[in-house]
Amino acid sequence: MDYLADERKKAEFDVDEMKIVWAGSRHAFEVSDRISKLVANDPGFRKDTRTMLARKELFKNTLRKAAYAWKRIHDLHLSEEEASRLRFYVDEPAYTDLHWGMFVPAIKGQGTDEQQKKWLPLAYKMQIIGCYAQTELGHGSNVQGLETTATFDPQTDEFVIHSPTLTSSKWWPGGLGKVSTHGVVYARLIINGEEHGIHGFIVQLRSLEDHLPLPGVTVGDIGMKFGNGAYNTMDNGVLRFDHVRIPRNQMLMRVSQVTRDGKYKQSDVPRQLVYGTMVYVRQTIVADASCALSRAVTIATRYSAVRRQFGSQNGGPETQVIDYKTQQNRLFPLLASAYAFKFVGEWLTWLYNDVTQRLQASDFSTLPEAHACTAGLKSLTTTATADGIEECRKLCGGHGYLCSSGLPELFAVYVPACTYEGDNTVLLLQVARFLMKTVSQLGSGKKPLGTISYMGKIEHLMQSRCTVQKAEDWLKPSQVLEAFEARAVKMAVSCAKNLSKFTNPEEGFAELSADLVEAAVAHCQLIVVSKFIDKLQQDIPGKGVKQQLEALCGIYYLYLLHKHQGDFLATSYLTPKQAALANDQLRALYTKVRPNAVALVDSFNYTDHFLGSILGCYDGNVYPKLYDAAWKDPLNDSVVPEGYHEYVRPLLKQQLHTAKL
């Protein structure tokens, strides 16, 4: 029986068409749909007991699943696209993520043609398994501060990789702890006593015969991480080198080269390309944020439609909690954010592909913007998604705290995204540097392009005032864009003015860093809003689909406007009355979205297997499933628990002299 059938009947749009918008294309939808069902129906990919397993058992099971996934990919002759969807729907972090997601891209991006020809076929066949070994015990954010050394030995034509201190131990790389045979290791290049900065090296870590660490290599797992199951399926590792020798041709030499006679040569590509793998992965993380958030929102929305509390009239049913405006005000902006992040993720993938093509043609002009966009949007979307998952847990009341809701594990597995691939505050400071540079160049005649083109309208934006007179005026895209542009430009200019008061710019930057981060957030929010609005300019087929997306877009920007109204008011673009009208319009949009909420989350097309949540199951049959699941908990295997006779019974039977207390 479908307990959510009445909700589904209320939908005012074509859900099947929305599924295609969400997937990105009909083809992408068909692949995702087929592969998600394939995984869901295969008992080899079960994950329902994951949060109850001890670490060793959990990890072994992950190894089994990764091998099984590889076998299925081969047996079914899956394409690269299908294989990547299969790994996604298996939904279990594993060493393969780093192999495919970082090791291979690092060689592709930083290796010469010759190096790619040698290493990529081995990696593609998984005859070697790689990790990305950059972070150390002492330094993660400050890449220039890494201590591992790679010293060129001209006698033998080799690099000597060494960990000179405890803090130089590699610490965190996923897949390193127990599985990887190789790593792209980042180290400080030294030639003839002279330092040449951080470079990547392909280093073999374990024997391909017996998996033992090679001489001079000390390697292991760094231990349990936050949450049950969650990211503990990954073997994040520690690694030390004691003068390990590798051939010279294992330095990744696309950006710079070391010749046989020990000469250091820089190509005509910017040295920042050494950071290229991080740009690539940040872009994938943005594309992924909408998946994690939409998953949590699906659970919270379906459950909010099933759950009833208070408000019974004449013995009738109580109110569905989704009908409380407070619930809508917490839930619907997250639903809208999931869609917003989907579209900005699609755009960022386009930007990344564009910059990659330009780099191949030696056009480096858009690299700073690509760095700022990937860094800023990675920070914005992961912070909002991690906070959003936790909010969804609270939206599900007490039952959200049960592992069977799926939300605790989802939060635990997702929250490190705020830290890995660049701490979110550190990344926003990179965006702020980019903005300050842009502002400082405004008088130079250099026209700001792409996502900072609005800075070209600085004179207009500094003076313009909002023209909204009634709530519906907030539905005009041009009005909304101007509000977000004016806020962003004014916050950036205010930071630049305050910075100019310092004689030492770095000192000023450090002193004003909290304001700079806020200016960076305003800029990134403008990007997300403008890409959502751009999406709505496209032809979107399907009955009512565009109207629903327009409502969600409105909820996204009006919620931001309400939340940050202090910024908008302080920059005197808005009056308090106009801010209040924005809030009136926001409430009206909640009412519009309410009957469509369940259908809007159905449009994500997630299987019950992928959701892994009793509260979010498609049929809404929550209570019997929760009740049955409780009895399946291992603690209920026996009526009297282990330990009763040892620890509880003696308490009950004790003859205390203080019995009257």
By the rule CB under 6 A, 425 interacts with ligand FAD? yes
Considering the rule CB under 6 A, would residue 105 count as an interface residue with ligand FAD? no
Number of neighbouring beta carbons within 10 Å of residue 477: 18
* Nearest-approach distance from CB 64 to ligand FAD, in angstroms: 22
Q: Which does 368 bind (CB under 5 to 8 A by kind): ligand FAD, ligand LZY4JE5M, none?
A: ligand LZY4JE5M
The answer to whether 177 is a known ligand-binding residue is no
Return the SS3 of 298: helix
Report how far apart, in Å, the C-alpha atoms of 560 and of each of 73, 344, 575 are: 43, 16, 16
Distance in angstroms (rounded) separating the CA atoms of residues 274 and 171: 20
| Window 486-515: contact mask with ligand FAD (x via CB under 6 A) | ---------------------------x--
To ligand FAD, the closest distance from the beta carbon of 222 in angstroms equals 10
User: DSSP class of residue 268?
Assistant: S
Tokens of 20: 């295609």
CA distance 408 to 389: 9
Which of 105, 111, 174, 508 touches ligand FAD by CB under 6 A? 174
Put residue 244 in one of left, alpha, beta given phi > 0 → left and psi -120 to 50 → alpha: beta
Residues 106-145 that bind ligand FAD (CB under 6 A): 132-135, 140-141
Largest CA distance in the chain: 92
What is the per-residue binding string for ligand LZY4JE5M in 91-120, x denoting contact by CB under 6 A? Answer: ------xx-xxx------------------
Out of ligand LZY4JE5M, ligand FAD, none, which partner does residue 306 contact, by CB within 5 to 8 A per kind?
A: none
284, 294, 327, 438: which one contacts ligand LZY4JE5M (CB under 6 A)?
284
Q: Which of 37, 627, 603, 632 is nearest to 338 (CA)?
A: 603
Q: Is 98 in the site for ligand FAD (CB under 6 A)?
A: yes
Nearer to ligand LZY4JE5M, 108 or 562 (CB): 108
Helices (H), 162-216: none
Distance CA 248, CA 250 (A): 5
Task: Choose which of 45, 152, 241, 275 interacts with ligand LZY4JE5M (CB under 6 A).
Answer: 275
Instruction: Please state the closest distance from residue 392 (CB atom) to ligand LZY4JE5M, in A.
Output: 21
User: Roughly what angle, to the nearest 10 degrees, separates helices 545-563 and 15-23?
Assistant: 60
Q: Select from 203, 146, 369, 342 the least CA-distant residue to 279.
A: 369
Report d(CA 592, CA 548) in Å as an integer: 8
Cα–Cα dist 328/333, whole Å: 8
Is residue 416 near ligand FAD by the rule CB under 6 A? yes
- The stretch near ligand LZY4JE5M (CB under 6 A) out of 135-143, 473-481, 528-536, 626-634 is 135-143
Stretch that binds ligand LZY4JE5M, among 129-137, 348-356, 443-451, 612-620 (CB under 6 A): 129-137
- For residue 285, state whether it binds ligand LZY4JE5M (rule: CB under 6 A): yes
Our finding on whether 423 is near ligand FAD (CB under 6 A) is yes
Region for 560 from its dihedrals, namely left if φ exceeds 0, alpha if ψ lies in -120 to 50, beta otherwise: alpha
Which of 294, 302, 338 shows the shortest CA–CA distance to 559? Answer: 338
Backbone φ and ψ for 246, nearest 5 degrees, come out as -130, 150
Catalytic residue list contains 646: no
CB of 371 to ligand LZY4JE5M, least distance (A): 4
Give alpha helix (H) positions in 91-245: 95-98, 104-110, 113-124
Q: What is the CA radius of gyration of the chain?
A: 27
Is-contact 159 151, C-beta < 8 A?
Answer: yes
Contact stretch for ligand FAD (CB under 6 A) within 168-176, 450-458, 461-469, 541-549: 168-176
Q: Residue 249 is which amino acid?
A: N
Identified binder of ligand LZY4JE5M from the candidate list 20, 185, 191, 278, rule CB under 6 A: 278
Out of ligand LZY4JE5M, ligand FAD, none, what residue 279 binds, judged by CB under 5 to 8 A for its kind, is ligand LZY4JE5M
Quickly list DSSP for 303-340: HHHH-B-S---TT-PPPBGGGSHHHHHHHHHHHHHHHH
Tokens linked to 341: 């992040």
- In the bound state with ligand FAD, the residue whose beta carbon lies nearer, of 69 and 133, is 133
Where does this chain touch ligand FAD (CB under 6 A) — which range of 3-11, 56-64, 171-179, 344-352?
Answer: 171-179
- Residue matched to tokens 């190789």: 182
The one of ligand FAD, ligand LZY4JE5M, none whose footprint includes residue 433, by CB under 5 to 8 A per kind, is ligand LZY4JE5M
Q: Does 435 sit near ligand LZY4JE5M (CB under 6 A)? A: no
For ligand LZY4JE5M, what does the binding mask look like between residues 370 and 409, x meaning CB under 6 A?
-x--------------------------------------
**In this structure, are residues 233 and 59 in contact, taking their beta carbons and an 8 Å threshold?**
yes
Handedness of CA 48, 54, 55, 58 (dihedral sign): negative
Q: Per the residue annotation, which of 421, 482, 485, 550 is the catalytic one? A: 421
Beta bridge partners of 79: none
Q: How many CA atoms lie within 13 A of 278 on its CB side?
A: 26
Of 185, 36, 154, nearest to 607 by C-alpha is 36
How far apart are CB 266 and ligand FAD at their closest, in Å? 24
Position among 368, 388, 400, 477 found at the interface with ligand LZY4JE5M (CB under 6 A) = 368
Closest contact distance (angstroms) between CB of 448 and ligand LZY4JE5M is: 15
**Taking CB under 6 A as the rule, does residue 172 contact ligand FAD?**
yes
| Window of 84-92, 346-354, 424-432, 598-606 that interacts with ligand FAD by CB under 6 A | 424-432
Q: Which of residues 571-600 bind ligand LZY4JE5M (CB under 6 A)?
A: none
Single out the residue of 386, 406, 288 nearest to residue 50, CA to CA. 406
For ligand LZY4JE5M, how many residues bind (rule: CB under 6 A)? Answer: 30
Report the candidate in 49, 30, 24, 32 with the shortest Cα–Cα distance to residue 88.
Answer: 32
Is 233 known as a binding-site position? no
Q: How many Cβ atoms sit within 10 Å of the Cβ of residue 42? A: 15
Q: How far is the CB of 123 from ligand LZY4JE5M (least distance, A)?
A: 14
Nearest-angstrom CA–CA distance, 157 and 343: 49
Q: Would you tell me which residues interact with ligand LZY4JE5M (CB under 6 A)? A: 97-98, 100-102, 132, 134-135, 140-144, 174, 272, 275, 278-279, 281, 284-285, 367-368, 371, 420-422, 426, 430, 433
Annotated binding site: 135, 174
Annotated binding site for FAD: 135, 174
Looking at the annotation, which residues are catalytic? Answer: 421
Q: Would you tell me which residues interact with ligand FAD (CB under 6 A)? A: 98, 132-135, 140-141, 172-174, 231, 236, 416, 419-423, 425-426, 429, 513
